[in-house]
Chains A and B, each alone.
Chain A
Amino acid sequence: MLKINDIHKSFGNNEILKGVDLSIDKGDVVVILGPSGSGKTTLLRCINFLEKADSGQAGFGDLKVNLHGASKRDIHTIRQKTAFVFQNYNLFNNKTALENVTEGLIVGRRVPKADAIGIGKKALDKVGLSDKYDSYPSQLSGGQQQRVGIARAVALNPDIILFDEPTSALDPELVGEVLTVMKNIAKEGTTMLVVTHEMSFAKDVANRVIFMDGGVVVEEGSPHDIFVSPKEERTKKFLKRVLPEDYTFYI
């Protein structure tokens, strides 16, 4: 459903993405792991053109684009097929929770207002915020704001939802409620591409794990392949650092 070929991206003299290939099928829940600076967030942001890649091809179903020279129309089309959940939520500060969720539907996709409100309320119910329709982001906790962000993405019913470290900015107590929401929408069959440091999510919910380091994909496979029997040295080193000390691998 989504294929990325040989994507390169530099910021000034710093080459962040050094030729990454990625392939996602419908219903996949793919987690990207890696140390900071490995390019995982950049990869995500290049997919919906928040960053402009230097080169590479992308295929969204039948639509094939060149990631560097994509037309405004293609970019708009791709953004209609994707949704993004940000690390720092990025809710529209001048709109209520319900308005946040319906904005993309009413203005971006010309859905009639009444239908959009219905969809929006359902999405907010799904993330457990039925009593917060009319609250402004400044009146919500971090976990609640992120759940609105997820509702905003879910309401658009996109082909794939991109998550950029959705729980990294949250207090530890609030991480759980967001991960639960993500688990539930994964169970419903939503295609998700998640950059995260939450290993529990990668182990329990993902059906594929990709390990990136230094701008390339080092290893990818099922959670079992990566966590229990990693093949590459770099992968083992990373896992040793981020997982509890008594964790061992089996070949």
Chain B
Amino acid sequence: MEKYFDVSYIWSSLPILLPFLKVTFMVAGLSIIFGTFLGLILAVMKLGKNKIAQKTAHFYTTILRCTPSIVLLFLVYYGVPALADNFGLYLHDLNTAVFVVITFTLQFAAIMSEVIRSAFDSIEKGQFEAAVSVGLSPFQAYRRIIFPQALVVALPNFGNGLIALLQEGSLAYTIGLIDIVGKANLIIAANYNTHALEIFIALAIVYWVISILIEKFFGKLEKVFSKGKQTINTN
């Protein structure tokens, strides 16, 4: 009789699971790139003077932050092809990964817009005033004085958003994406739903290692970018 819980399953499943990290990373990476870009546009809308743009950006952020990832995934998976039908485009057979990237791009953009906006708002107005007073154009002031300081403020929150994206991304298998979680579920199904615990422990280990690595990486980045923030040596 096989044991109910067999520790060796944890280690033996890892080589089967790890190759599928490629899919997880590719989907996450694309979502981060597109999401940051869209988030930047939204942040600019929020920081500008146009009231309509501001309201639109805030509305978008609220909707997306209030929708659970799994709901958003299905909305996109069924909704985008349905919408495309109205325009005569047939999108029902698109690779699932495309829908996953769309979903998490939209979600990450909402988070990023707040990270970027709050980072810029945290820089006191006097920095901008001093910059234009010495003769910099507003654009030069933003690029050379405000942006570098805002980047340092945004970095920890960006790292958090990154880790959160990876966690939310674990739900992508629900619409059929075979990333590392998807493969895990396939293995479990193939084993007639036995040894699920060991497989999920293996998944947990993988996610822990990745998250810790990301944390350490961003910790180092923060140190590099904080060169202007050393405190006075009072001794």
- In whole angstroms, what is the CA distance A162 to B131 when docked? 15
Contact assessment for A92 and B229 in the assembled complex, using a CB-CB cutoff below 8 Å: no
Contact with B along A68-96 (1 / 0, CB 8 A): 00000000100110111010101111110
Residues of chain A contacted by B132 (CB below 8 angstroms): 50, 79
Q: Smallest Cβ distance from B164 to chain A, in angstroms? A: 28
Residues of chain B contacted by A220 (CB below 8 angstroms): none
- In whole angstroms, what is the CA distance A152 to B135 when docked? 11
Known A-B contacts A136-B228, A138-B230; the reply to A90 vs B136 at CB < 8 A is no
Contact assessment for B126 and A88 in the assembled complex, using a CB-CB cutoff below 8 Å: yes
Binding stretch for chain A, among B78-86, B140-148, B165-173: B140-148
Contact assessment for B127 and A90 in the assembled complex, using a CB-CB cutoff below 8 Å: yes
- B134 close to A (CB within 8 Å): yes
Partner of B126, one of A80, A90, A95, A138: A90
Contact with A along B124-140 (1 / 0, CB 8 A): 00110111111111001
Residues of chain B contacted by A104 (CB below 8 angstroms): 134-136
- In whole angstroms, what is the CA distance A76 to B126 when docked? 18
Known A-B contacts A94-B148, A94-B228; the reply to A50 vs B135 at CB < 8 A is no
- A156 close to B (CB within 8 Å): yes
Residues of chain A contacted by B137 (CB below 8 angstroms): 76
Contact assessment for B136 and A86 in the assembled complex, using a CB-CB cutoff below 8 Å: no
Residues of chain A contacted by B232 (CB below 8 angstroms): 138-141
Q: Which residue of B lies closest to A136 (CB)?
A: B228
Identify which of residues 93-129 in chain A touch chain B, using a CB-to-CB cut-off of 8 Å: 93-95, 103-104, 107-109
Number of interface residues of A (CB under 8 A): 30
Known A-B contacts A136-B230, A138-B230, A138-B231; the reply to A108 vs B130 at CB < 8 A is no
- In whole angstroms, what is the CA distance A109 to B129 when docked? 17
Residues of chain B contacted by A48 (CB below 8 angstroms): 133
Partner of B135, one of A95, A108, A139: A108
Contact assessment for A86 and B126 in the assembled complex, using a CB-CB cutoff below 8 Å: yes
Residues of chain A contacted by B127 (CB below 8 angstroms): 90, 92-93
Contact assessment for B130 and A92 in the assembled complex, using a CB-CB cutoff below 8 Å: yes
- In whole angstroms, what is the CA distance A74 to B100 when docked? 51
- Interface of B: prevailing SS: helix
- In whole angstroms, what is the CA distance A92 to B231 when docked? 15
Contact assessment for A156 and B149 in the assembled complex, using a CB-CB cutoff below 8 Å: no
Total A-B contacts with CB atoms under 8 angstroms apart: 77
Q: Which residue of A lies closest to B123 (CB)?
A: A93
Q: Smallest Cβ distance from A161 to chain B, in angstroms? A: 10
Number of interface residues of B (CB under 8 A): 24
Residues of chain B contacted by A109 (CB below 8 angstroms): 135
- In whole angstroms, what is the CA distance A92 to B145 when docked? 7
Residues of chain B contacted by A103 (CB below 8 angstroms): 131, 134, 136, 144-145
Q: Smallest Cβ distance from B183 to chain A, in angstroms? A: 45
- In whole angstroms, what is the CA distance A23 to B63 when docked? 56
Residues of chain B contacted by A93 (CB below 8 angstroms): 127, 149, 228-229
Identify which of residues 196-235 in chain B touch chain A, using a CB-to-CB cut-off of 8 Å: 227-233
Contact with B along A210-239 (1 / 0, CB 8 A): 000000000000000000000000000000
Residues of chain A contacted by B230 (CB below 8 angstroms): 136, 138-139
Known A-B contacts A93-B149, A94-B228, A136-B230; the reply to A79 vs B131 at CB < 8 A is no
Q: Which residue of B lies closest to A84 (CB)?
A: B133
Contact assessment for B149 and A80 in the assembled complex, using a CB-CB cutoff below 8 Å: no
Q: Which residue of B lies closest to A92 (CB)?
A: B145
Contact with A along B96-137 (1 / 0, CB 8 A): 000000000000000000000000000000110111111111
Known A-B contacts A136-B230, A139-B232; the reply to A91 vs B133 at CB < 8 A is no
Contact assessment for A50 and B145 in the assembled complex, using a CB-CB cutoff below 8 Å: no
Can you report 17 A-B residue pairs in the complex whose CB atoms are below 8 A from each other?
Answer: A82-B133, A84-B129, A84-B130, A84-B133, A92-B127, A94-B228, A103-B136, A103-B144, A104-B134, A107-B136, A107-B140, A108-B135, A138-B229, A139-B231, A139-B233, A152-B134, A156-B134
List of 6 A-B pairs having minimum Cβ-Cβ separation, nearest first: A108-B135, A104-B134, A90-B130, A90-B126, A84-B133, A94-B228
